[in-house]
Amino acid sequence: MAAELEIVSREALFDLALRLGDTSLVLGHRLSEWAGHGPLLEEDIALSNLGLDLIGQARSFLSYAGEVEGKGRDEDKLAFFRNAPEYKNLLMVELPKGDFAFTMVRQLLFSAFHLPLFRRMINSTDTTIAAIAAKAEKEMSYHLRHSSQWVVRMGDGTEESHARCQKAVDDLWPYTGEVFEVDNNARELIEAGIWVDPEYLRDEWNGTLDAVLNEATLKKPESGWMQSGGISGTHSEHLGHLLAEMQSVQRAYPGLKW
Amino acid sequence: MSDNKDMMPLWEVFVRSKNGLSHTHAGSVHATDAEMALQNARDIYTRRAEGVSIWVVPSAEITASDPSSKGEMFEPSGTKIYRHPTFYDIPEEVGHM
């Protein structure tokens, strides 16, 4: 780690680790909200498994963020004692879980981008980021497989499941632009070979989505105006509610362990 | 999900815990088709690193022995203890078998 910090600023690396960690944490939490509410027992457990993969990734990224920051904050401090404006997650993942179609379409859009992202990050010049990516890549591969299957089933299913799926695609689409955003911090890391220019992932992302949506008889919306703000800390009203619930125990009993 | 029986038939799940061992019955899942059955089996029966390979078989495709013919099927072997390979002296050099 020390070697990297000579060529990039601590702030930039901290920012990236938060961006990845927060995104995984918030989506993991949204998936955990399905526990006990899944459409069938098998899928209830599957959703918890997906959520736990993401919370594991969040733990690794946030723990590294704390190490880079060097102020003694561990992953729990970062997860449970920051407010919404300090969170750097993508807006897409903080939206309420919605119906099962919405949850699966979001998982598809998310994993279709994050699979190629992590696959390239395995070659990151930052060895910690590379190691986390190597583990996360296999998890994303399964998330993509699982969500694709469901989107195809529902899209090419009944009239109602098709309509719900198409609505989810349309509602989520304006949130997909954010994954390609690159700010100054990100640019610095891309130039140092620590991170990947998301523009290189666009073709693969489009190719994956075209194949799945086509088989699911769903329409991919035209690219239009895109939401923005998550990675700079400007969030929707939903994140505050999510954090209030997720952080309530640690806020009431700081440092509590079980 | 009792009203889903026709759409979500039952599948039997067999998991192999590591290379060299055989698949053993782990339980069953509901699924509309083989691919969903595999994923459900993976999510339910291998989440604590129990396996390296999974088979799923439609439960309806399994032919089972009839419990009422237990006597003729299994009792005859009960008295033939000489079929167990326990009547040999194993040389010490062979070690534990």
Q: Tell me what pLDDT residue B5 has.
A: 60
Q: To the nearest whole angstrom, how far is the Cα of B33 from the nearest Cα of chain A?
A: 11
Whether A45 sits inside 8 A of B1 (CB atoms) is no
Gap from A141 CA to chain B (nearest CA, Å): 13
Which bin fits B49, alpha (ψ -120 to 50), beta or left (φ > 0)?
A: left
What architecture does CATH give domain B2-94?
Roll (3.10)
Task: Give which of B36, B45, B54 to mutate to test A binding, by max A Cβ within 10 Å.
Answer: B36
Q: Do A46 and B40 touch (CB under 8 A)?
A: yes
pLDDT tops 50 at residue B1: no
Across the interface, whether the CB atoms of A40 and B47 are under 8 A apart is answered no
Distance CA A79, CA A84 (A): 11
Higher-pLDDT residue of A239 and B2 is A239
Whether A45 sits inside 8 A of B47 (CB atoms) is: yes
CA distance to A29, B7, B47, per residue, from A242 (Å) = 8, 36, 27
For tokens 């698949």, the residue is B23
Helices (H), chain A: 2-7, 10-32, 41-69, 75-80, 91-94, 100-121, 127-155, 159-172, 184-191, 202-215, 237-252
Place of tokens 């299994």: B74
pLDDT of B2 reads 45
Residues of A in contact with B36 (CB under 8 A): 149, 153
Q: Is A181 exposed, middle or buried (0-12, 13-18, 19+ CB in 10 A)?
A: middle
For every one of its 258 residues, what pLDDT tens digit does chain A have, with 9 covering 90 and above?
545 556 678 999 999 999 999 999 999 999 999 999 999 899 999 999 999 999 999 999 999 999 999 999 999 999 999 999 999 999 999 999 999 999 999 999 999 999 999 999 999 999 999 999 999 999 999 999 999 999 999 999 999 999 999 999 999 999 999 999 999 999 999 999 999 999 999 999 999 999 999 999 999 998 888 998 888 889 999 999 999 999 999 999 998 887
Nearest CB to B1: which of A40, A45, A153?
A40
DSSP state, residue A202: H
Average pLDDT taken over every residue of chain B: 88
What topology is assigned to A9-252 in CATH?
Answer: Ferritin (1.20.1260)
Closest CA to A109 of A58, A180, A55: A180
pLDDT in tens, B12-27: 999 999 888 899 999 9
Residues of B in contact with A49 (CB under 8 A): 43, 47
What is the residue extent of each domain of chain B? 2-94
pLDDT digits (tens, 9 = 90+) for B30-64: 999 999 999 999 999 998 888 999 999 999 999 99
Q: How many contacts does A have with B, using Cβ atoms within 8 A?
A: 28
Reading the block at residue B10, the tokens are: 């039952």
Query: Nearest-CA residue of chain A relative to B46?
Result: A49
* DSSP alpha helix (H) spans, chain B: 34-45, 70-74
Residue-level pLDDT at A5:
59
Taking the CA of residue A158 and the nearest CA in chain B, the distance in Å comes to 13
List the beta strands (DSSP E) in B1-97: 10-16, 24-30, 53-58
Nearest by CB: B30 against A40, A46, A153: A40
pLDDT tens for A193-221 read 999 999 999 999 999 999 999 999 999 99
Distance (Å) from the C-alpha of residue A47 to the closest C-alpha of chain B?
9
A42 and B40: CB-CB below 8 Å?
Answer: yes
Cβ neighbours of A45 in B, within 8 Å: 43-44, 47
Structural tokens at position A197: 């220019």
Nearest residue of chain A to residue B39 (CA atoms):
A146
Mutation site, B40, B42, B50, B54, interface A, largest A CB count within 10 A:
B40
Asked whether residue B86 carries a pLDDT value surpassing 90, the answer given is no
A42-54: buried (b, 16+ CB within 10 Å) or exposed (e) per residue? bbbbbbbbbbebb
Cα of B8 to nearest chain A Cα, Å: 10
Which chain B residues are Cβ-neighbours of A40 within 8 angstroms? Answer: 1, 4, 8, 30
Strand partners, B54: B15
Contacts of B29 in chain A (CB under 8 A): 42
Identify the bridge partners of residue B16 per DSSP, sorted by sequence position: B53
